[in-house]
Structure formats: C-alpha cells, structure tokens
C-alpha cells in the first residue's frame, strides 16, 4: 500500500463531491472534502497523492495563465494539504490541458501544438507548484526537452530538493476517456498523437527514457500500465532510478463495468492487475484502486 500514489481530482469551492460515473468511489472534491479523503487514506497507509485540478471553462485561455496565478485553488489546496499532512507526499500535474482553452497539453499556434514555445510555460507552472509546497513535479505533457528546462527552473528558484517524476513513456491511448470526462479536458480539436507515443513503438520509449534520464528525471513513469507491461519491464531493467506505472482511468473503469455486471470478481481482478504491474517492475503505482485495495487487505 505504501507504494501507491492515489490520484485525486480537485474542484474549486466548498462542500463539493461530484462522483465520476465511470469510476465508482472516485469523485471530484473541493479542498475541504479532499482533506478528509486524504485523512482516510493516511489512516489506511496511503501516503502519496497526485492532485489534478478541474478548472471551469471561464478560467481557461490559450496560455494556461490560470496555472500560474498564486491565488488559484489548485495551489491553495496544495498549501493546505502540506500544512495539514506535512508527512504526506504530494505530486502535481504539469501540463497545459486542464487550463487551456484548446484542451491540449502544449501551446497551440495555427492549429499546431508547438513544443519549444510550451517549455517556458511548463517551467513557470512547475515553479509555482514548488512554491506551493509540492514534493514531486509530475510533467504529463510529453513535450520534448521539458525535464531539463523544469529542472533548471526549479534549481534556479532554490527548489533543488523538489523532485521530478517524468511521464516518460506516455502513449496516445484509448484508456484516458474517464479522466478527460472528470476534468473536462478533452482536446477541442485533433488528438494528442503528435506528442504522445505510438502504442506500436517500444524503442521510442527507450529513447524518451534516455533523454529524461540525462535531463535529470528522478523517477520515470509508464502510462497506461496494463497494455504496456513490457515497457515497464524494459525501463526497470535499463535505468537505475525508480520506475512507476499509471494504472489509468480506463483500466479502472473496465474492471468496474465488468464487476457491476457480475462478469468479474472486483477484488480478485484488482489484486491480479496491481500484482502484474508490480511484477513487471513498477516501484510505485498510480492507481484509482489504491483505497479499495488498502481496505481489501484489511478485510
Ligand atoms: C493529461 C493527462 C491525462 C491523464 C493524466 N494527465 C490524459 C490525457 O493525456 O489526455 C490521464 C490519466 C488517466 O486516464 O487516469 N495531461
């Protein structure tokens, strides 16, 4: 259980809990109720969290400028979590899509996602999050060169102890659907195939990993997990840093859907899935099953 990183969805406001239909047990929470969730998780032995913001459309623009405002509800919640639970590990999400009116992880100019122009925005976003107190920066954007740029920006701002878990091998996957619904962050046009990886390609994962490693990633993630166990395995064999896996929303929704129909035993399916991710070589697992699994072990 201590190897889990539990994803949580944050909304602005008070007393808000909006369940996500495709992932029973997972909701968007306002800060107050998220703190309560974290308290429950900590009692179950889950100590690491990755927080994603669901931002209302009126606050989105092309430059994702809301991400950098120090009064934004995401940074405020991070401050509160670290104040209430100083021993917890809080990981952030770095990408433009939750704040972008285009719904893309990078800056869109003339219908194109422009890599290099996106990098300073990601660096600023990372520094703002470090100032708010995050322990681990989680760039999920897949722009080339961002790990080095973020590392330099963090060090330059005095955050040498804030680490980076790179979404190193993030594939253009069909399994992100429920997440995009949860955050209302689907691309307004086009898809993410110019920056996320081709599921057919294994060697590109090694290249991405080599670059991230050289640029200063402290941990490297493979995402999704289940269709990519071979990628987890090969990165674990070849790189001397922790490898994590993101057991994504669609992988979670599949199990719930089948279990609700009586076609799978939920507990057994979850156990086997998580075990396989671990067996493939993941040191840490980002999973929506974290809480259910921790409770399962106590039954
Ligand atoms: C985007 C991001 C995505 C996820 C995490 N960060 C979706 C996407 O690339 O569109 C997906 C996580 C999940 O499906 O659980 N920055």
| pLDDT, tens only, 92-109 | 999 999 999 999 999 999
Report CA(298)–ligand 1 centroid distance (Å). 30
Residue of the CA atom closest to atom 8 of ligand 1:
176
Report pLDDT for 184: 77
Report pLDDT for 70: 83
Angle at 166 between CA 160 and CA 168, to 5 degrees: 150
pLDDT confidence of 51, banded at 50, 70, 90?
A: very high
Question: What integer is the mean pLDDT of 195-205?
Answer: 95
CA proximity to 3, closest of 52, 50, 46: 46
pLDDT confidence of 191, banded at 50, 70, 90?
A: confident
Q: Which atom of ligand 1 is nearest to the CA of 140?
A: 16
Distances from the Cα of 64 to the Cα of 44, 77, 108, 121, 248, angstroms: 36, 18, 11, 8, 24
pLDDT confidence of 200, banded at 50, 70, 90?
A: very high
Average pLDDT, the chain: 96
- Percent of the chain scored above 90 by pLDDT? 92
Report CA(273)–ligand 1 centroid distance (Å). 19
Residue of the CA atom closest to atom 5 of ligand 1:
140
Report CA(294)–ligand 1 centroid distance (Å). 24
Report CA(187)–ligand 1 centroid distance (Å). 11
Local structure of 94: helix, strand or coil: strand
| Start-end of H helices in 98-222 | 115-132, 146-156, 177-183, 203-215
The secondary structure of residue 109, as a DSSP letter, is E
Q: Which atom of ligand 1 is nearest to the CA of 248?
A: 15
pLDDT exceeds 80 at position 248: yes
pLDDT confidence of 188, banded at 50, 70, 90?
A: confident
Q: Quote the pTM value.
A: 0.95
Q: Could you tell which of 121, 170, 176, 285 is best to mutate to test the pocket of ligand 1, judged by most ligand atoms within 8 Å of the CB?
A: 176
51 CB contacts (<8 Å, ≥6 apart)? 7, 8, 9, 10, 34, 74, 77, 78, 81, 90, 91, 92, 93
How far is Cα 119 from Cα 115, in angstroms, rounded to an integer?
A: 7
Per residue in 54-103, pLDDT tens? 999 999 999 999 999 988 999 999 999 999 999 999 999 999 999 999 99
pLDDT exceeds 80 at position 297: yes
Report CA(50)–ligand 1 centroid distance (Å). 12
Ligand 1 pocket: which residues have CB below 6 Å?
93, 95, 97, 105, 140, 176, 179-180, 192, 248-249
How far is Cα 202 from Cα 9, in angstroms, rounded to an integer?
A: 31
Task: State the catalytic residues.
Answer: 170, 223
CA proximity to 295, closest of 51, 3, 21, 41: 41
Instruction: Look up tokens 């704040």; give the residue.
Output: 99
Cis-peptide, bond into residue 224, ω within 30° of zero? yes
pLDDT exceeds 90 at position 131: yes
Exposed/middle/buried for residue 134 (C-beta within 10 Å: 0-12, 13-18, 19+): buried
- Percent of the chain scored above 70 by pLDDT? 100
CB-CB contact of 63 with 45 (8 Å) = no
Report pLDDT for 181: 80
Residue of the CA atom closest to atom 6 of ligand 1:
140
């Amino acid at each position: 259980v201590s190897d889990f990183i539990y994803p949580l969805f944050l909304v602005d406001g008070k007393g808000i809990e909006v369940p996500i239909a495709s992932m029973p047990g997972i909701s968007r929470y306002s800060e107050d109720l998220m703190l309560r969730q974290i308290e429950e998780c900590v009692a179950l032995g889950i100590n690491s969290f990755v927080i994603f913001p669901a931002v209302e459309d009126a606050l989105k623009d092309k430059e994702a400028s809301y991400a950098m405002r120090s009064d934004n509800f995401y940074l405020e919640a991070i401050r509160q979590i670290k104040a209430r639970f100083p021993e917890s590990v809080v990981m952030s999400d770095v990408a433009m899509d939750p704040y972008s009116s285009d719904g893309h992880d990078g800056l869109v100019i003339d219908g194109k996602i422009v890599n290099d122009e996106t990098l300073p925005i990601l660096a600023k976003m990372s520094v703002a999050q470090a100032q708010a107190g995050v322990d681990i920066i989680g760039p999920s954007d897949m722009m080339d060169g961002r790990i080095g740029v973020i590392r330099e920006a963090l060090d330059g701002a005095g955050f040498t102890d804030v680490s980076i878990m790179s979404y190193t091998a993030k594939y253009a996957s069909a399994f992100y659907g429920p997440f995009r619904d949860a955050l209302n962050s689907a691309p307004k046009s086009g898809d993410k195939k110019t920056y996320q990886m081709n599921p057919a390609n294994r060697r590109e994962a090694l290249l991405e990993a080599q670059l991230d490693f050289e640029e200063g990633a402290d941990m490297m993630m493979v995402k999704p997990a289940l269709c990519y166990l071979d990628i987890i395995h090969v990165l674990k064999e070849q790189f001397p840093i922790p490898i994590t896996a993101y057991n994504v929303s669609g992988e979670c929704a599949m199990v719930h859907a089948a279990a609700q129909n009586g076609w799978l035993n939920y507990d057994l399916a979850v156990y086997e899935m998580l075990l396989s991710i671990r067996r493939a070589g993941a040191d840490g697992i980002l999973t929506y099953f974290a809480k259910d699994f921790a409770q399962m072990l106590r039954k």
